[in-house]
Chains A and B, each alone.
Chain A
Amino acid sequence: MEDILRLIIEKYNYWIYITLMMIGLYAIIAKNNLVKKIVGMNILQTAVILFFVSIGVKRGATVPIIEHAHDGAHHAIRAAEYINPLPHVLMLTAIVVSVATLGVALVIAIKTYQRFLTLEEDEILKQIREP
């Protein structure tokens, strides 16, 4: 019983992100509407971003800005006192890039609507097969 509880406490954050990721993946696979697929793609991206940020967390550490913490500018800097900055750097750029790619995805959805007058995937496929 104690083992299971410890497992839950240590790993529950990963399970939350996997759940979010699977919601996004399900939307991409099963939803019929193209905009809903794009929303699913964004949920999946958000899950990955949260996963990366949670990797950087260290217990008892603070934000990776040296001056502001533990009077850091005056004595030797110990890495355990600051959270891992690397995942934050990677996700910082990924968030903005995901907004830009979301724009491109929506543009393609708009062009699809202008061409087929629908956003439902099965109707688009039907129109492509029977011109």
Chain B
Amino acid sequence: MKILGLVIVALVGSVLIYATVDFPPFADPESPASLHVSPRYIEKSLDETAVPNVVTAVLADYRSFDTMFETTVIFAAGVACFLLLRIPRRRPPGPRHFRHRLTGLTFRVKDGENGKEIFLPLREFEPVDSVWTPHDFIIEKVCRYMIPFIQLFGLYVIAHGHHSPGGGFQGGVILGAAIILLSVSHNLRTALKRMREKTGALCSALGVFIFAGTGALCLALGYNYLDYRALAALLPGGPIMARSHGMLLVEIGVGVAVMGTMVWIFKNLASLGRYDEGL
């Protein structure tokens, strides 16, 4: 199998390298890809949409159907992870582990008679994962103070995507990574306290709904689906600014969907669908 694979890879690779002889040279301004559609976008998008960042204009306006269904793909991936992995069980049977906050000692606690939970004063004991997890004071504190700034930066990236590199996808990933960082630096329970499973799933669906709803709103106002000029009837600034505002709405939808799905997938993967412990 290894030799066969090597032969196939060498054959395909040599055919592809032979094909590159006909490719346009690297960084050629006259390459076919740069002459067909993109000059139209670069020259007209500022006049037509009032958005200086051409990437955002193409992503959220000219190619918004593509972006909408990419968002739907992300949502579908989140739902697939949930349906495949989630086990609707509160807590697996067996001993649990607690750490005494003051001394740092770890206790293993068995269930009492008839599976009753043993009461521990949770101000002094915190539950820890059954697999060994390091307890590092510095990492916990540093992450705790970093996370609000990371989230603020994520909001900035979403909101400022019209004028600088950024947008819904990037900002949503940053917001999701902040929650994942909380989960990695502390533990899954802390992250679940901040953002419940239901919140992640609802964010994921809500983002797709905002995107599709903006399109449907345009349809209801008498224009084509996702033709943001229709929003001029509701927002100030005329049809060109309405396209800019419509893009902002859509980017917010994408950001919410991406954040929710990233956190949802991570929590499912990290806890093997049990949502009790992990990482």
Say whether A117 faces chain B, with CB atoms less than 8 Å apart.
no
In Å, the complex CA distance between A7 and B265 comes to 45
Contact of A92 among B4, B23, B55, B78 (CB under 8 A): B55
Contact pattern, A 45-58, Cβ under 8 Å of B = 1, otherwise 0? 00000000011111
6 cross-chain pairs, A with B, having the tightest CB-CB distances, nearest first: A79-B39, A10-B25, A30-B5, A100-B77, A29-B5, A103-B265
User: How many of A's residues come within 8 Å of B, CB to CB?
Assistant: 57
Contact (Cβ within 8 A) B59 A64: no
Say whether A96 faces chain B, with CB atoms less than 8 Å apart.
yes
Contact pattern, A 66-99, Cβ under 8 Å of B = 1, otherwise 0? 1110000100011110101111110011011101
Contact (Cβ within 8 A) A100 B74: yes
Contact (Cβ within 8 A) B53 A80: no
Interface residues of A (CB under 8 A from B): 7, 9-15, 18-19, 21-22, 25-26, 29-30, 54-61, 63-68, 73, 77-80, 82, 84-89, 92-93, 95-97, 99-101, 103-104, 106-108, 110-111
Contact (Cβ within 8 A) A86 B67: no
Given contacts A79-B42, A92-B169, A96-B258, whether A11 and B20 have CB atoms under 8 Å apart is yes
B59 smallest CB distance to A (angstroms): 5
In Å, the complex CA distance between A77 and B27 comes to 20
Contact of B21 among A11, A12, A65 (CB under 8 A): A11
Contact (Cβ within 8 A) B21 A77: no
Contact (Cβ within 8 A) A93 B163: no
Q: Which residue of A lies closest to B266 (CB)?
A: A103
Contact of B167 among A13, A61, A84, A92 (CB under 8 A): A92
Which residues of chain B come closer than 8 Å to A93, judged between CB atoms? 59, 66-67, 70, 169
In Å, the complex CA distance between A54 and B33 comes to 11
Which residues of chain A come closer than 8 Å to B262, judged between CB atoms? 99
Contact (Cβ within 8 A) B52 A67: yes
9 contacts between A and B (CB under 8 A): A25-B8, A65-B52, A78-B43, A79-B34, A85-B38, A85-B54, A87-B33, A89-B59, A92-B55
Contact (Cβ within 8 A) B54 A65: yes
In Å, the complex CA distance between A92 and B63 comes to 12
In Å, the complex CA distance between A84 and B173 comes to 24
In Å, the complex CA distance between A92 and B28 comes to 22
Contact of A29 among B9, B42, B163 (CB under 8 A): B9
B234 smallest CB distance to A (angstroms): 27
